Structures are given as C-alpha cells and as structure tokens.
Amino acid sequence: MKKNQWMKSLLACSMALLAYMPTQAQEPVNGQLWMDVDGNHINAHGGNIIQYGDTYYWYGENRPYRGFTTEEGVGVYSSKDLKTWKNEGIALAVTTEAGDDIERGCIMERPKVVYNKKTRKFVMLFHLELKGRGYEAARVAFAESDSPTGPFRYLRSTRVNAKRWPFDMNKKAQKAAQQTDASKWKDWWTPEWRKEVEKGMYLWKDFQGGQMSRDMTVFIDDDGKAYHITSSQENLTLLVSELTDDFLDFTGKYNMVAPGGQNEAPCIIKHDGTYWLICSGCTGWAPNEARMFSAPSIWGPWKQWKTPFVGTATGYRDMPANKTFGAQGTYIYSKDGKPIFMADIWNERHLSQSLHLWLPIEFGADGVPVIKWVDKW
C-alpha cells in the first residue's frame, strides 16, 4: 500500500473508531454515543420524554448488546437540563414467569409514558410482542405507576378496536370491506391488491379479533384528550384511536390514516392549530426517507408532504436527508415551545449501542416543518 493510501485508511479507521468510542463528554453530540452520568451510553430507545416538576424523564427500550428481544424492560433516565442524564433503572421490568405477557424474551418497543392529571398516575403504553412469536402478536400494552421512575405495574395487552369500524366509514364502505378476503392475496403491490387494501381488506381480516398495533406513539391534545397512533394492518395503515379519560383503554372511536401507505415510527406535533405527523417507511432497522402529513384536526383529513429533512448529516457519514440522516423518529418533545425531533440511529448488531439523534424542528414562513442536521441541538 502506498504511504498516502495507508495514511488515508488510518484516518478513516480512527474517524470510525471515534464515532463509536465511549466519551465522557457531558454534552450530547449527534452522531456519537451519549453518556449518562456514570459514563454509560444511554440505553433508552424508541421512547419519549415527559417533564414532571423540575425534572425530565426519558423512557425507552433497554436493549441488549446482542440479540433483539427484551431482557430487562423499559428503562428510565432523569435530568434537570435534558443534557445530563442519570440512569434511574428499569421502570417496567420483564418477568421470569413462563407464558407471562412480559416474560423475559418478549419484545417491548416504543414505550410512551404520559401523566394523567385526573388519576395522578403515570401511564405507559408500548408495543408488545409475545416471547417466541416474532412480530405476529402486534399488541399494545398498558402499565401504570404512582412515581415517574416506577416501578410500573403491568396491566394488560390487547389488539385494538375489535369489532369496531372507523367512525368515518359509511355503511357502503363497510359492506365493500366485508367482501374482501386477505387470504386470497399472495402477491402484494399489484394494482388489484392495492384496490382491495383501500377497500379495507386488512381491516376486515382483523375485524373480529382486533386490529394489529406495532410502532406507536401517544399524543395528548390541548384539551387533555389522549390518542394512540399506531402502525396497523400489516404495517400498511396508521390508526388514530381515542383513549379513555384514564388513558387505560380505548373509547372505540378511531380512523385510518394513509391506508396502504406503509408508514411506521409515528411522531406528532400540533403547531399553530395544525397537526403534523412525521413517520418513516418500513425497512426494518435500516433508514429510509421520512414521510410527513398535516391535518386541521386529529381526525384528518391528512395531506401528505415531502420529507421535512433537508441537507446532509455533516460529520455523521454524510447521511442524506432522504435517509433521514440514518435515523428513524421516535417522539417530538417540545421544550419552551421549541420542538425537538427525537430519533434513533439503529445499530442492528448491537441495539443497545444505537445512537440518539435530536434535531430542532423549525417552521418556515409557510408554517411547514423543516429539520436540518446540527451537531448539538
């Protein structure tokens, strides 16, 4: 190898090593590991943040270094400034009871904790997959706690909206859905298949037992009403469902967003009266181009926009905007009216080492969200 070629590869190796090397730096830098006060990378993925009193709590998937099933549970960290984080341990722990919903080896994903002012409980909703059954259970699970750091009591898991039609689906459309048959369609993505999906083929498939619920978030509107937004119907269609006042159940009112659009990782923010939904496509752990929708009401109608991401992740592998800078969203947290888009840069081989990416959301003169790379938010 020529001398300057050798120097170049040495430099490339050192850069790659630096990006993954633990650092004691207190201030989180996008594209690098984020250390808690003990010097460990923050193992809280797919989660969210709440403020309670003068403290922020960050909940997320505690992921193993190897493998992808849940060995510990949902982790929680606390901070006074959103930058220095203390590990508060496992907020909701897996159990060792064979056959239990949350038996070690199940999959807990995308936990979202919200505080219910009426019941004074911290309520956690998360995507649950049962041990040994891959991603087929597709359930939402509920847990609650009197304290933000837990321990959360596991309550139950369920499919959603069993035997219910979307509130805005008329009788004629319901009839058309009932004439579909998902078992007939082995080939996806043909124009004929697409027509059937739009008629509600996958809604009808799970009508009796309840709709699937995988990637999810929870949104609390200004009037205190809470909504569960989830990727359903084989990840093809998003569902927005109203939660009961205690946030522990569904009222039965729901509708579909972008049927057949294959959106997941939903993140939502309301800005100047408009609801903005930012999602990803479905490519497993690999990044893809984000999708954005807006609506004047949580019940739609939703209009699709181009991705809000622009530019490149300068300094982080120069990942382009059309790959969401290598990340997938998990939540939008607003601090003093300034929204932060929280995302995970998944590390499929070592999920616990997946990086965090927080970027400010700016609203242009036209009121449309724009997200650019910054090293520090």
Give the number of other Cβ atoms within 10 Å of residue 215's Cβ: 24
Rounded distance, CA 130 to CA 138, Å? 9
Length of the chain: 377
Minimum CB separation of residue 110 from ligand DGJ in Å reads: 6
Minimum CB separation of residue 135 from ligand DGJ in Å reads: 7
Q: Which is nearer to ligand DGJ, 284 or 337 (CB)?
A: 284
Minimum CB separation of residue 181 from ligand DGJ in Å reads: 28
Give 152's DSSP letter. Answer: P
Q: Which is nearer to ligand DGJ, 35 or 137 (CB)?
A: 137
Give the number of other Cβ atoms within 10 Å of residue 245's Cβ: 13
Question: Counting Cβ atoms within 10 Å, is residue 144 exposed (0-12), middle (13-18) or buried (19+)?
Answer: buried
Rounded distance, CA 212 to CA 236, Å? 10
Q: Which is nearer to ligand DGJ, 68 or 185 (CB)?
A: 68
Residue nearest ligand DGJ by beta-carbon distance: 284
Residue in 234, 239, 283, 236 with CA at minimum distance from that of residue 257: 239
Minimum CB separation of residue 76 from ligand DGJ in Å reads: 19
Minimum CB separation of residue 129 from ligand DGJ in Å reads: 9
Strands (E), 63-138: 73-79, 86-93, 107-116, 121-129
Q: Which is nearer to ligand DGJ, 35 or 216 (CB)?
A: 216
H/E element, 181: none
Rounded distance, CA 357 to CA 319, Å? 13
Residue in 15, 16, 14, 34 with CA at minimum distance from that of residue 24: 34
Minimum CB separation of residue 167 from ligand DGJ in Å reads: 27
Minimum CB separation of residue 63 from ligand DGJ in Å reads: 11
- Asked if 78 and 60 count as a contact pair (C-beta separation under 8 A), the reply is no
Give residues in contact with ligand DGJ (CB under 6 A): 46, 109-110, 215, 264-265, 284-285, 328
